[in-house]
A and B are shown apart, each in its own frame.
Chain A
């Protein structure tokens, strides 16, 4: 009971913290890799308190594994976008065709690829956790 109430209070805070880490990666410590892991840890906490099947109903396994693939695609897509604009692969300077010293392309490129990394890391971590925890095996009381 106490666990459930505390977890219900904590989960939104941890999610907000994950997005804080994500979007402040440009100016402070942390970044998309850490934010992705924090997001995956939220799901693990949820599954430990409310049970794995409740978590799998909220965030289904097909969603996490497609999220991981979509994340890699977003990242690679930024590179292709730069190619189409006439630059090198992943050359953010070419995204908006700016002269050297213009920073819009850098900011946009970094934010988009960090979104991709966030999706890929959180999706892959959650997939790993589902694969391990979703095996039909019960922990016996005397093993704790």
Chain B
């Protein structure tokens, strides 16, 4: 019994620790102006929230967050950062009041809504009592797949997953159509490997007369 209490306090402490880290990182992201640091911190945010998801037994969500949020989107955002300015423009302090009020009101409403949430792992909560329970009961006879997440995703809701796959494909296609397929840089490096040599030559041509000018 005491072991249970110690375990629960430990889990609660780790929960509080993770959420505190998330809070600090979010504040830091909101206050920073350097886009590089913001991208890195958002990767940290994703990684910490992935660890927190695993702590509350949402393993699949945590795995996806770690792979997509911390790995993929950080790399994509770094790539996107190369195309724009490196620092965000500072805003006037008066302009921040409106967004702050909106965030504050939304936060208060969310905290108010958590009062009605069922406890973690509550057997009588709607998520565990209704359709979820039915899937758990019929899944083994229907599909013979041990992981109910996979069988729901791929079999019961195969249409949805087909749609998701099409969405991912369309997203890739749209980015490629907007930005080009990135083959230009490959063609540039393949076509003229002396390309790095031409730029210093031009610089030299531009700078040499300026240096020689005062001498002559």
Contacts and interface: CB of A to CB of B under 8 A. Distances in A.
A83 interface: no
Contacts of A75: 161-162, 165
B20 interface: no
B155 A106 contact: yes
Interface residues of A, number: 63
Interface stretch (B21-29, B60-68, B99-107): B60-68
Interface string A95-130: 000001101001101100110110011011101111
Contacts, number: 192
A64 B199 CA distance: 32
B169 A124 contact: yes
A53 B195 CA distance: 14
Given A56-B186, A129-B76, A41 B181 contact: no
**Prevailing SS type, chain A contact patch:** helix
A121 B67 contact: no
Given A90-B158, A137-B83, A125 B153 contact: no
B154 interface: yes
Given A106-B145, A137-B83, A61 B183 contact: yes
A129 B79 contact: yes
B172 A135 contact: no
Q: Most chain-B Cβ atoms within 10 A of its Cβ — which of A37, A57, A117?
A: A37
A31 B180 CA distance: 30
A131 interface: yes
Q: Most chain-B Cβ atoms within 10 A of its Cβ — which of A44, A57, A60, A123?
A: A44
A46 B173 CA distance: 22
A27 B147 contact: yes
B158 A121 contact: no
Contact of B169 (A72, A109, A132): A72
Interface in B42-59: 59
Nearest to A33: B64
B166 to A, nearest CB: 6
Interface of A: 21, 25-31, 33-34, 37-38, 40-41, 44, 52-53, 56-57, 60-62, 65, 68-69, 71-72, 75-76, 79, 89-90, 92, 100-101, 103, 106-107, 109-110, 113-114, 116-117, 120-121, 123-125, 127-137, 139, 143-144
15 contacts: A26-B150, A38-B67, A56-B182, A56-B186, A60-B186, A61-B181, A65-B176, A69-B169, A76-B162, A107-B144, A124-B173, A131-B178, A131-B181, A134-B182, A143-B36
Given A113-B162, A128-B76, 14 more contacts: A25-B150, A29-B60, A31-B149, A31-B153, A53-B190, A65-B173, A79-B162, A106-B142, A110-B155, A127-B173, A129-B79, A130-B176, A133-B82, A134-B183
